[in-house]
Amino acid sequence: MKKFVQFALLPLMVTASLAAVAAPAAKPEKLIQWRQSAYRVAEWNVARLKAALEGQYDKEEAVAAANALEGIAGSGIESLFVPGTEQGKGWHETSAKPEAFKDTKRFAELSLSFSKEAAELAKLVPAADQSAVKAQFGKVTRTCKTCHDAFKGKD
Amino acid sequence: MKKFVQFALLPLMVTASLAAVAAPAAKPEKLIQWRQSAYRVAEWNVARLKAALEGQYDKEEAVAAANALEGIAGSGIESLFVPGTEQGKGWHETSAKPEAFKDTKRFAELSLSFSKEAAELAKLVPAADQSAVKAQFGKVTRTCKTCHDAFKGKD
């Protein structure tokens, strides 16, 4: 395994948002930590939105969570799944299936769906129409599940 | 130590963005993981921006990174530093100094500076005036350092 993985090797440059010409070189451990961290932050903000929708809806809390989720979803996490990181430990052993490195087109498509639905959610939340927010939140979490089913093994 | 920490106990509700009435209850380990993950994602996106500014500037990459950083910086990470999480392990032992739980007003102020400077950066990046981006990027990283000096011990 190479000690450093250049983002320039990236096989996922199928959309403009994934272009990574100038992105940092980093050790596989760090790349895996970054992607595990990004998904864990998504989990946090999904949990905040779920709690807001199930409890007393707090608009400011929901806005902060939705904006964070939009930023994470649009960050290009999939660009961290580069050759040399199929196995290995970040915070923990990677739970990515081999398919994440093989079917990169599908992975990029599902990542883009997550990004689009999260961006739409962030647009809706400030108006605080809870039924609209709830419906869109469902769309976001379905993109999570679809992608997990395809590309995520057990933690 | 309490097994569950209610966000409702939050002593940091000094700004609207920190209101957390409806936020999820979670175990201390999870709360610490979430905050460690959020700062690690900030590190990733700072690294991407640094690489972009030092190498061949890729606007799409810089936009994705700046938007992610804005989302993270504005997410209210400081709301995860609740009583019961002064010590303990998330991904690793917390590196928060005791001051983060004592001087919550100052911590909230520094977190707000990070959020404001990151939001300004995200506004500037799409225009791709690299000297302006570089100057604003410096302001963002100075907010990181100021807060680390005050509230972060060794990893």
Domain ranges of chain B: 2-151
> Is the pLDDT reported for residue B3 higher than 80?
no
> Is the pLDDT reported for residue B92 higher than 90?
yes
Q: Could you tell me the pTM of the whole model? A: 0.86
ipTM for the predicted complex: 0.86
Cα–Cα distance between B152 and B145 in angstroms, integer? 9
Indicate the class that CATH gives domain B2-151.
mainly alpha
Min Cα distance B27 → chain A (Å) is: 12
Q: Is B26 helix (H, G, I), strand (E, B) or coil?
A: strand
Q: What percent of the residues of chain B are helix, what percent strand, and what percent coil, each to the nearest 5?
A: 65, 5, 30
Q: Which alpha helices (DSSP H) does A27-129 contain, by range?
A: 28-54, 59-73, 99-102, 104-124
Interface probe, candidates B75, B89, B91, chain A, greatest A C-beta count within 10 A? B75
From chain A, the residues in CB contact with B55 under 8 A are: 21-22
Nearest to B91 among A75, A80, A91 (CB): A91
Query: No. of H helices and E strands in chain B?
Result: 5, 0
pLDDT of residue A22: 42
Nearest CA in chain A to B70: A71
Tokens matching residue B23: 């936020």
Q: Is B93 helix (H, G, I), strand (E, B) or coil?
A: strand
pLDDT of residue A57: 87
pLDDT of residue B87: 97
Q: Do B67 and A75 touch (CB under 8 A)?
A: yes
Tokens matching residue B84: 């019961």
Q: Chains A and B: how many Cβ contacts under 8 Å?
A: 136
Q: Which residue has the tokens 């190498």?
A: B55
pLDDT tens string A72-121: 999 999 999 999 999 999 999 999 999 999 999 999 999 999 999 999 99
Tokens matching residue B109: 């102020």
Upper half-sphere CA count for residue A112 (Cβ side, 13 Å): 13
Q: Which residue has the tokens 């950066």?
A: B121
| Cα A96 from chain centroid (whole Å) | 13
Mean pLDDT of chain B: 88
Q: What angle do CA B153, B79, A48 make, to 5 degrees?
A: 130
From chain B, the residues in CB contact with A5 under 8 A are: none
Min Cα distance A21 → chain B (Å) is: 7
Q: Of the candidates A132, A7, A133, which has an alpha carbon nearest to the alpha carbon of residue A61? A: A133
Cα–Cα distance between B92 and A68 in angstroms, integer? 23
Cα–Cα distance between A106 and B148 in angstroms, integer? 40
Which residues contact residue B38 at a Cβ distance below 8 angstroms, ignoring those fewer than 6 apart? A37, A41, A44, B72, B75, B77, B80
From chain A, the residues in CB contact with B44 under 8 A are: 34, 37-38, 80
Average pLDDT over residues B135-147: 98
> Is the pLDDT reported for residue B93 higher than 90?
yes
Nearest CA in chain B to A20: B61
pLDDT band at residue B128, thresholds of 50, 70 and 90?
confident
Tokens matching residue B66: 């700046």
pLDDT of residue B23: 54
Nearest to B72 among A33, A41, A80 (CB): A41
Nearest to B64 among A47, A55, A76 (CB): A76
Residue A140 contacts residue A121 (beta carbons within 8 Å): yes
Nearest to A48 among B23, B44, B61 (CB): B23
pLDDT band at residue A128, thresholds of 50, 70 and 90?
confident
Nearest CA in chain A to B17: A60
Compute the Cα dihedral for B41, B42, B43, B49 and give only its sign. positive
pLDDT tens string A1-54: 344 454 433 333 333 334 344 456 899 999 999 999 999 999 999 999 999 999
Residue B94 contacts residue B152 (beta carbons within 8 Å): no
Query: What is the DSSP code string of A34-62?
Result: HHHHHHHHHHHHHHHHHHHHHSS--HHHH
Q: Which residue has the tokens 């430990």?
A: A89
Interface probe, candidates A5, A30, A41, A50, chain B, greatest B C-beta count within 10 A? A41
Cα–Cα distance between B94 and B101 in angstroms, integer? 12
